[in-house]
Amino acid sequence: MPLRDRLLALVVVVCWGLNFPAIHLSLDQFPPFFLVALRFALLAVPTMLFVPRPQVPLRWLLGYGIGFGVLQFAFLYLAMDSGMPTGLASLVLQSSAPFTVLIGSAWLRERVSARQAAGIGIAVAGLAGIAALRAYGGAQAGLLPVVLTLCGGLGWAFGNVCSRQARTDSPLRFMLWMSVVPPLPMLALSLVVDGPAAIATSLTTLGTPTAAWALGGLAFTVLIATVVGSGLWTSLLARHPSSVVAPFSLLVPVVGFAASWLAFDERPVPAELALGAVIIGGVLIASARPRAARVLAERGQDAGATTAVASAAIPSPRPVSPRPSVVVADTDT
């Protein structure tokens, strides 16, 4: 990967890492489920007006929207509203990577290699350690926020598998059209759980300083983390193998922890940082391609470059969409 693209990947890491403090600010003003509905509604309206719908089966678009949009963020926002520290949320959400491998194995009958199984085991051990630490003291909040965040990671993983099955030729349009799915179900859930009074209060107090920070956080989430961050990430995945790009997402919790420390004085206990390193190590092991696969991919790229002129002159009998590989993170948080 050239230096320019490495720097772009780091820009995405910063955008996504800062998104967690932005969500924290927004939750100070808006109820969690209503905030999810508002976030995606701001994307859905211009998407329906100006972005062509991707040519994918409707069931996979709905599955991606339900998994990535509804389940992930409903659980994540509820966890953070229930006391999940911002930096720790950015770390525990990395559980989506081993969950994706496990769902792919159970649902799509994909083979799990010994290396992947070892990586998943290491990551799960780290997550279990954080859960035990939260359950038996020595942390800022209890076990429930961690469990809710894990459920968010599981929803993200379900969305990843649906995205893979969709085999879209335009990942960015697919991601934008996914935003059409969450607003109505999340608004209905908000009316039932958050209540009309809480929603009305959040909308009638937008002139306060807290609301100004919340609206700034919401704007960052929609414009910077989603449009800019996901747009750059999609372009990087289009130019490089996912095994080269995806490990950069493991730096997101580093930015999340640092930003939360500076902005909110959230100081993780040393045991949490150590277990976080265990989780990231497990995710990296589970998501890295074996050396033999990398060599074959590089040889395939070399062969493709050698025969590009000849193959360009031969029309393909039908368009072929490559099967994307499972990555650590497909889109923003």
Q: Cα–chain-centroid distance for residue 92?
A: 11
Token digits for 214? Answer: 């919340």
Q: Kindly state whether residue 326 falls inside one of the protein's structural domains.
A: no
pLDDT level of residue 326 (50, 70, 90 thresholds): very low
Mean local confidence (pLDDT), 62-85: 93
**Rounded Cα gap, residues 166 and 64, in angstroms:** 9
Mean local confidence (pLDDT), 158-187: 89
What pLDDT is stored for residue 220 in this prediction?
A: 96
Token digits for 293? Answer: 């696969």
More confident residue, 191 or 110: 191
**pLDDT tens-digit series, residues 267-283:** 777 887 888 888 888 87
Q: How many domains are contained in the chain?
A: 1
**Is residue 296 over pLDDT 70?**
no
Mean local confidence (pLDDT), 307-312: 35
What pLDDT is stored for residue 243 in this prediction?
A: 61
**Is residue 180 over pLDDT 70?**
yes
**Contact criterion met (CB below 8 Å) for 214 and 28:** yes
Which domain does 159 fall in, by range? 3-304
Mean local confidence (pLDDT), 206-222: 95
**Rounded Cα gap, residues 176 and 282, in angstroms:** 30
Say if residue 112 is exposed, middle or buried (CB neighbours under 10 Å; 0-12, 13-18, 19+). Answer: middle
**Is residue 255 over pLDDT 50?**
yes
pLDDT level of residue 301 (50, 70, 90 thresholds): very low
What pLDDT is stored for residue 140 in this prediction?
A: 52
- The helix or strand, by DSSP H or E, that contains position 14, with its residue range, turns out to be helix 3-27
What pLDDT is stored for residue 39 in this prediction?
A: 94
Q: Kindly state whether residue 329 falls inside one of the protein's structural domains.
A: no
Q: Kindly state whether residue 315 falls inside one of the protein's structural domains.
A: no
Q: Kindly state whether residue 286 falls inside one of the protein's structural domains.
A: yes
Nearest alpha carbon to residue 38 among 72, 68, 73, 71: 73
Amino acid at 330: D
What pLDDT is stored for residue 183 in this prediction?
A: 96
Q: Kindly state whether residue 197 falls inside one of the protein's structural domains.
A: yes
Nearest alpha carbon to residue 92 among 279, 333, 274, 329: 279
**pLDDT tens-digit series, residues 93-131:** 888 878 888 888 888 777 878 888 888 888 888 888 877
**Rounded Cα gap, residues 141 and 45, in angstroms:** 37
**Rounded Cα gap, residues 168 and 331, in angstroms:** 14
**Rounded Cα gap, residues 286 and 117, in angstroms:** 7
314 CB neighbour count, 10 Å cutoff: 8
**Rounded Cα gap, residues 94 and 10, in angstroms:** 17
**Is residue 43 over pLDDT 80?**
yes
